[in-house]
A = this chain, B = another copy of it.
């Protein structure tokens, strides 16, 4: 019975106060996504192991939680199931299975926990919520625009003081690999190295590239070309020139121009939308536009995503265009907590009704029902106890009112309302209880 009351490494319990904050964030996300026409789905926590493996790169595969087979097969040590690692792969499996139940264009949101056997620490958990929106069945760049618009509205609604969207395209990264004379077999290696730019800096990237067998000259070219110019227009023009004659890259740049123009229209100027040729995104499955969103004043990202036009095809054999953005729910909650962005949350209960002995039970039970009917939350004290202890409990709970029915009240057919904020109290008949502007009192007749 070693660690009797332990909790698994990297996981958390949520107490009521935290839960209320988390629910408020989720409700806002849900509301904004719904306003934008996105619809809810859920998928199981567990997926067949073959659904998950080979989708997240080698490193991802090692972070999967795997479930042992049951019954006689348990002894074999084999696993047939795994825990959800993200929401994108389950969505792709979902779309492949339900193609004929969803429309030609399918806009969904999904808010569920995901699991990664990562080394826990500083805001990194093994079980954490993701909030994804995706558009299935629509090509670039309009689906991208509707996603960025919805996400931008979410951060507005959460009262974030501005966000910055970093924007790039996997087709540009591929073109970059080509113009830098890097062998296409080294494409993933090069992209994964570039992805670490923020963490390890240009010298770190150069070292990694060279260690992986990429020439000094190629590494230097790559590092030069992923630079950011003074304006988005300059970056786009430079890349247009650099990738002259490369059709895929030119299409990507045209898409980016449309996205940049639309984002500027809904309020993202240069400060909040950055064409960033160094943005790479670690995941294997991206094929087109990729995004990462940062909160003003913070370097780490609070959302990310991209287009993955071939992932659904790995399940159904038929490619369907798809693009999505995942919000870093835990990161968002931490930032809001640290910056005091949560408005005052309601306390646990509005009113506690006393209980002294069995004789007071019927009247107190009736009072608790009456108060609930008036629209306040109300609980009956859960024992027969002294008044002082019931006051103490009501204080712990942050209750605004204690409603007292003692022997006096019982014989008079009345009840007493004690306002815990003002300290005042008044006595009256249960039938004349009213709530006016959120205040519990008695009507005047």
Query: What is the interface of chain A, defined by CB distance below 8 A to chain B?
Result: 1-8, 11-16, 19-20, 22-23, 34-37, 39-48, 50-51, 62, 65-68, 70-71, 74-77, 79, 81, 83, 93-94, 96-98, 101-105, 107-108, 113, 115, 117, 126-127, 135, 137-139, 142-143, 145-146, 149, 153, 258, 261-262, 265-266, 314-317, 348-349, 352, 355, 358, 361-362, 365-366, 369, 372, 377-384, 393, 396-397
**In contact, B93 and A7 (Cβ under 8 angstroms):** yes
**In contact, B3 and A143 (Cβ under 8 angstroms):** no
**Could you tell me the distance in whole angstroms from the C-beta of A159 to the nearest C-beta in chain B?**
17
**In contact, A138 and B46 (Cβ under 8 angstroms):** no
**In contact, B3 and A15 (Cβ under 8 angstroms):** no
**In contact, B67 and A42 (Cβ under 8 angstroms):** no
CA distance A23 to B8 in the complex (A): 29
**In contact, B70 and A67 (Cβ under 8 angstroms):** no
CA distance A316 to B5 in the complex (A): 7
**In contact, B98 and A13 (Cβ under 8 angstroms):** yes
- Residue numbers in B under 8 Å from A37 (CB-CB): 348-349, 352, 377-379, 397
**In contact, A258 and B361 (Cβ under 8 angstroms):** yes
**In contact, B127 and A8 (Cβ under 8 angstroms):** no
**Could you tell me the distance in whole angstroms from the C-beta of A347 to the nearest C-beta in chain B?**
9
Q: Interface majority SS on A: helix, strand, loop or mixed?
A: mixed
- Residue numbers in B under 8 Å from A381 (CB-CB): 142
- Residue numbers in B under 8 Å from A146 (CB-CB): 379-380, 382
- Residue numbers in B under 8 Å from A266 (CB-CB): 365, 369
Which of B3, B12, B36, B97 is close to A48, meaning CB atoms less than 8 Å apart?
A: B3
Ordered by A's residue number, 13 sampled pairs between the chains whose C-beta atoms are within 8 Å are A5-B93, A6-B48, A15-B101, A19-B39, A37-B349, A37-B397, A45-B113, A77-B77, A104-B393, A142-B381, A149-B380, A262-B365, A265-B366
- Residue numbers in B under 8 Å from A153 (CB-CB): 372
- Knowing A14-B41, A102-B15, A361-B258, say if A377 contacts B36 (CB, 8 Å): yes
* 4 other A-B residue contacts (CB within 8 Å) besides A14-B42, A37-B377, A45-B45: A3-B50, A6-B97, A103-B397, A143-B382
- Residue numbers in B under 8 Å from A14 (CB-CB): 40-43
CA distance A43 to B51 in the complex (A): 26
Q: Which residue of B lies closest to A36 (CB)?
A: B379
**In contact, B3 and A19 (Cβ under 8 angstroms):** no
Which of B8, B47, B137 is close to A47, meaning CB atoms less than 8 Å apart?
A: B8
- Residue numbers in B under 8 Å from A36 (CB-CB): 372, 377-379
- Residue numbers in B under 8 Å from A378 (CB-CB): 35-37
How many of these chains are in the complex?
A: 2
**In contact, A41 and B66 (Cβ under 8 angstroms):** no
CA distance A361 to B260 in the complex (A): 12
Q: Which residue of B lies closest to A106 (CB)?
A: B16
- Knowing A41-B15, A50-B1, A93-B7, say if A138 contacts B68 (CB, 8 Å): no
- Knowing A107-B382, A117-B70, A258-B358, say if A35 contacts B93 (CB, 8 Å): no
- Residue numbers in B under 8 Å from A8 (CB-CB): 44, 46-48, 81
- Residue numbers in B under 8 Å from A393 (CB-CB): 103-105
CA distance A126 to B315 in the complex (A): 23
- Knowing A13-B97, A40-B19, A372-B36, say if A4 contacts B315 (CB, 8 Å): yes
- Residue numbers in B under 8 Å from A127 (CB-CB): 44-46
**In contact, B105 and A383 (Cβ under 8 angstroms):** yes
Q: Which residue of B lies closest to A97 (CB)?
A: B5
CA distance A352 to B142 in the complex (A): 14
**In contact, A316 and B4 (Cβ under 8 angstroms):** yes
Which of B45, B137, B258, B361 is close to A115, meaning CB atoms less than 8 Å apart?
A: B45
**Could you tell me the distance in whole angstroms from the C-beta of A425 to the nearest C-beta in chain B?**
21
- Residue numbers in B under 8 Å from A11 (CB-CB): 44, 46
- Knowing A40-B16, A46-B65, A146-B382, say if A7 contacts B97 (CB, 8 Å): yes
CA distance A162 to B157 in the complex (A): 41
- Residue numbers in B under 8 Å from A75 (CB-CB): 77
- Residue numbers in B under 8 Å from A13 (CB-CB): 41-44, 94, 97-98
- Residue numbers in B under 8 Å from A81 (CB-CB): 8, 65
CA distance A209 to B393 in the complex (A): 48
CA distance A352 to B355 in the complex (A): 56
